[in-house]
Every structure is written in C-alpha cells, then in structure tokens.
Structure 1
C-alpha cells in the first residue's frame, strides 16, 4: 500500500488505476465434529455483511463449505446440522481400508445440492483432498460435489479412500488442514481462515476411533499452525473440548463459532 502511494506521488500526471474490489475467501479448516463451529462463523460474517467471493474447505470444512457455496444460508445450515444424524453420513462396513464406506456421505451432499456440480455453485468452491499416490494436495473446483466432499472427508483408517479418475484420495487435512494456499492460488486477495484445530482436549481418548481422531487432530493442529501465518484474518473457535465424533455438542460448537467471529 505504501509503495503504491509513493508511486502516485512521484508520477502526478498519471491517472490513478481503477482498483477492483478485493476478493475475500473464507477457508474452513479440518476438525470433524468440531466443524459445526464453521456455521456459527458464517452466521456472524453474514450478519456483518462481509462479502464472500470464494469458499475453500478441508474435511468437515468442505462439507459445510459446499452447502454454503451452493446457496444455503447459515441459518439453513444450522437447521441441517441439528437434523443431521450419524447414520445419515456413516455407512459402517467390515474393516477394508477403513470401516466407513462413504457412499452415504456422498449421497447426502449430492441430494442437498440437488446434484449440482461444484462449478455451477453460486460461490466458487474448492474441496481440498490428498492424493495418496503422489502425496500432493488436490483441490476439486468442478465436477461431482458429493464425491469431492467424500474424498476431502475420508479420514485415513476411518473412511475407505475413494477412487477418482484412477487416483486414490484421502482427507485433505493430511497435507493441508487449512488450505490458505488454495485460496491464494485461485485469486483471493483477503483470506479469512477458520481454525478449529488449535485447541486440543486435555483428556485421554477412549476407544479406537477417538484415539485415531485425536492423533489426527494433533497432526491437523501442527500443520495448521504453519499454514495460518499466510491468512489475513484468523478466527479460532474454542472447540477443543468437543470430541471429534461427538454430534451431541452441535449447538455448543455453533455458539463457539459465533463467539470467536465476534471477538
């Protein structure tokens, strides 16, 4: 900004360039059931009339983000969240590279967006995944919405990794739980990052799933701490006390999102 002002001062005969409005992206981070907090954040951003020109989501961030980018209001998302049951999105199978198949999650999302492909959404949206074969981040910004969200949410060891165009994908949080770089790559000038991995529970996990999830949350937290340095605005809902597979605290998570966005 200073350089631009100095440039204008030294060249008074030149007409000032017409500045385009800044493109604002919201990046919704990974964090399983803690991700209900994203809805609370979106409620406050909308209440304050903050324009959102792009949404990037990883894991649960892609689930919430896809529905928002499609056109659901934050209040409609809250209604969907309160009605959501685990059985709506989890189809348990005998362990085979995961013990949740993922078809239910894919179908749930596709039904909610009326089978609209990502590239036809009202707001540009990117679902962040990890290509298991290359170890690279992959952001889906077009095509089958449910399949992209399924890939982004496929927590290793929990969900069967889906195959898309002969490539196997897992949770984007493995390499990019807070994909600020994706927002920048696709033209965001200002990035609002919602980090739900920064606070971790102090108690020991109980059971296999919770142990896996807490270990993954630790990984998310460490990677996100590096990624978040490139954000312009950081919102950190205090949801560390909510278990990764705990659907019973949806209301509390949404409230924490609202509180954090208001701070």
Structure 2
C-alpha cells in the first residue's frame, strides 16, 4: 500500500505560477487521490467476518415422572384412584415400579390400560381368580400363586415386561440373600407372583434357580428403584397402615400386622427420597378386605388430588419439559 501511495503522488503534477488551471486541476487530483486512499484504508484487507446469530434457547430436557406403587394387599386398589387423578390432570408417568399389590397395578398400567380400564378390572376382580389352594395347606404356603400369574398374563395379553408401553419394574425379595431385586425383563405374571408372595400365604417363587417372596419385606414403597430406572420426579404411593391402626385378628391378619411393623421403619427411610408422597386415608381398611375396593379407589383419588399442587410445583421447579396426555 505504501508503494502504491508513492507512485500515485509522483504522478501528481506540481503547481506552478504560469498555470492557475493546472493548479486547480492538480489540487483536485490530490484531493481525489487522498479520498481514494482513505476509501482504500477503510476496506478490510481480509474476508468479511461472519455474522454470529444470538444463541438459540437450549431445548428443555424432558422431565421423567416415575410412579412408585407400594404394597398393602387389598388396600392396593387405592393406586387406581391415584392414576385416575394423574390422567385427569394430563400428567403421564414415564415409568412405573411396584411392590406386592403395587406390582399388579403397575403391570396393568404399564401395559397401556387407562384409569377407567383399571377401575373396571378392579371392581370386577374375583378373589377366586387369583387364589389356588395348596393341599395339604400346611406346607410352604396356602396358595401356589399360579392362578395369580395366569390372571396377570391374561390381562396384559401375555406381554413380557420389556415389551410394555412404558418401562415397568417389579420388586421382590430374594429369600436366600434377603436383598431386594428389581425385575424388568421376562414373564410379567411370574414377576408379579414373586413380588406378591407373602411368606406362609403364597409358596415362594423360583426364578432362575433362586427363590423369591414378597417385595414388601425390604422395599414397601420402591422409591429407590424408580430412581434407578431413571425417574427425575418420583411420586410414591404409600398404602401401608400404621401398626397401631390394625388390631391383630386371625392368623393372616397377624402375619400382615407383622409386615406392617417391619415396614414402618423401612418406609420412613425410603420415602425420604421421594419428591411427592401420596398417603391415601385407609384407616380401618384391612389388608385382606376385598369388599371395600371402591372405598380404596376413592381414597386414592382424594389423596392424589391433595398432593397435585405439590407435584405441579416440583415439576415447575425442575424446569424441564413434561410429557402430557393428549386431550
């Protein structure tokens, strides 16, 4: 550029006294040259810098709602009312995990059944369809549990756990190690049977060479397993009853009362990790009372309606995108 300037200046004619017009022209020439030089200096020497658009707002991460359904025998009908309220609110859990009675409702819900279908199934359920007496009855349990497994598989159209509409988890207790085990693959009815195998009531269930009994012994409300399956927000449904609210009666009631005592301290520990805890009011409703199923459903509805503002607040605080049911 400097060399170019020198050449152009050398070509500009010098102003003399004999030529006023030449001076004027020379002055115009100089002015033109400097104007051109100024223009050249304003032009960038390299390519133009690309225009960077403002960053777009990052897409919100989907929030996964997990439903943890606890055990409680006939009190498990309350889970149906809880699901009905979530459905009416347009909220769809992305996964469900259940223990004992909760495993049965979890399996049916994961298969794609609506709350209306769940309620119809609950009200039409006959105890004889899920009980098969052992003879003699003084063996390892009063019921084999095969009838329960068949009942579940019929309702889910024999779909395996891994083929459900939403991820399904079922919790049982390893009888030998005492550890809680999460089933997510395989025969759905067998998993529900294992999770519901109350010791001395149902015969332990053998799966891959190991025996399993009721999951409520070690995980009455499977909150930790909902987290393990990937839930960001866990809605835990606790249908257990305080031991003091259930005076012991017959042999079965004494056994269930024993589980209630054992589960009380475990529940207090596990429920701390839940975002929302739903506790249906089931006082006086015995675990073996299948005649009060409508009352249990209504109690589940009322409890979930009361907890709905808390759930919505937790979802808002999470700041993510919530999957909703289509109207």
TM-score, length-normalised on structure 2?
0.74
Residue 50 of structure 1: how far off its partner (Å): 1.1
Q: 1:260 aligns with which of 275, 297, 303?
A: 303
Contact 2:242 2:260 in 1 (8 A): no
- Across the aligned residues of Structure 1 and Structure 2, the Cα RMSD in angstroms comes to 1.5
Contact 2:82 2:304 in 1 (8 A): yes
Superposed CA offset, 1:65-121 (max 9, x none): 100100111111111111111111011112221111100000000111111001100
List gaps (5 residues or longer) in structure 2.
1-53, 307-327
Q: Tell me which moved more, 66-75 or 193-202.
A: 193-202
Larger-gyration structure (1/2): 2
Superposed CA offset, 1:43-83 (max 9, x none): 00110011210001000000011001001111111111111
SS at match of 1:135: coil
SS at match of 2:122: helix
Contact 1:214 1:244 in 2 (8 A): no
Superposed CA offset, 1:188-235 (max 9, x none): 100000011154463522211111112112222321111000000110
SS at match of 1:25: strand
SS at match of 2:181: strand
Q: What is the match of residue 9 of structure 1?
A: none
Q: Hey, what's the Cα distance between the residues in 2 that align with 1:220 and 1:38?
A: 18
Q: What is the match of residue 118 of structure 2?
A: 77
Q: What is the match of residue 216 of structure 1?
A: 259
Residue 16 of structure 1: how far off its partner (Å): 6.2
Q: Tell me which moved more, 86-95 or 200-209.
A: 200-209
Aligned pairs (5 A) from 1:174-213: 174-200=217-243, 202-213=245-256
Aligned pairs (5 A) from 1:135-146: 135-146=178-189
1:18 pairs with 2:59: yes
Residue 19 of structure 1: how far off its partner (Å): 3.1
Q: Hey, what's the Cα distance between the residues in 2 that align with 1:198 and 1:223?
A: 13
Q: Hey, what's the Cα distance between the residues in 2 that align with 1:140 and 1:77?
A: 22
1:133 pairs with 2:176: yes
List gaps (5 residues or longer) in structure 1.
1-12
Q: What is the match of residue 29 of structure 1?
A: 70
1:147 pairs with 2:190: yes
Superposed CA offset, 1:22-55 (max 9, x none): 1100000011111100000000011001121000
Q: Tell me which moved more, 228-237 or 78-87.
A: 78-87
Larger relative contact order (Cα-Cα within 8 Å, sequence gap ≥ 6): 1
